[in-house]
Amino acid sequence: MTGRPANEPPRRLEVLRAGALTTVQDQGRPGWAHLGVPRSGALDPAALRLANRLVGNPEDAAGLEITLTGCAVRLTRAGAVAMTGADADVRVDDRPGDVGRPLSVPAGAVVRIGPARTGLRTWLAVAGGITAPPVLGSRSADTLSGLGPPPLRDGDTLPLGNPAGDPAPVDVTVGRPAPAALRLPLRLGPRDDWFTPAALDRLFSTAYTVSPLSNRVGARLAGAPLPRAVAGELPSEGIVLGAVQVPADGQPLIFLADHPTTGGYPVVGVVDDVTPLAQARPGTTVTFHGPQR
């Protein structure tokens, strides 16, 4: 006969304080764009993979992505947790902890992750992983389509699996520093011909700042508008991760993990790697460069 002893509670993670935006994320659901479903997943996949390795999970296990203000959770049974990403104060009950190393958590102890001192997002892995029901092969919350678990609220409870391995024998890992300014590689197209030569010069020669209206769908930028050479309407066409769309106000928008799969505004180019934007707070400076510049 298998199963837990009758006097042991199930492995669960209780959300005491969800914070501004905390979602369940894993490595996403690639391969469904033809059905209108974007990949979603952690905005910094490597950070979540590292957190999982630190607690002995498979790299594709689901954890939490915590935005800016931190959160507080409680384990119903003893286990290990690890945080990666933004620098923040961490406490297990009254015991201080660190981002970047596995922490032992007694049953019933409260793990408190404080507001990010630098950067924007922290990833939390729990031994056993979060085992919310998968949708199209992933447990990731897609904030645009609503697929996967909804954003967490105070009082939510999440199921956990059984630990797959021992926590990593490390004292601390070195995280990626939060950027003060970003220089992003940009490949022009498919609709760069909808913009004037002056607009393209401006795109590569001036600085933008990340807008407070940014989210998991996209990083909105504020700065010099990009004038169009074509004033007509564009039929909706496919959108990919990193696409730089230019709405009617001329301000670029870089699509992130929860992007739509189609859009009607012209895409002036595509950013090769959007991972640095995961930690870009509002006001972060963004410039673009390309192989032709």
How would you classify the pairing of strands 103-105 and 79-85? antiparallel
- Is the distance from CB of 185 to CB of 273 less than 8 angstroms? yes
pLDDT of residue 249: 95
Q: Which of 240, 239, 176, 180 has its CA nearest to residue 209?
A: 180
**Lowest mean pLDDT segment, chosen from 3-12, 67-76, 155-164, 265-274:** 3-12
User: Would you say residue 178 has pLDDT above 70?
Assistant: yes
pLDDT tens digits for range 122-134: 999 999 999 999 9
CA distances from 127 to 8, 16, 272 (A): 17, 19, 33
Q: Which of 203, 223, 221, 222 has its CA nearest to residue 289?
A: 203
CATH fold for domain 181-289:
Cyclophilin (2.40.100)
CA distances from 133 to 12, 140, 141, 158, 191 (A): 14, 10, 11, 10, 39
Domain boundaries defined on the chain: 12-159, 181-289
pLDDT of residue 3: 59
pTM of the model: 0.94
Q: Which of 30, 29, 37, 45 has its CA nearest to residue 238?
A: 37
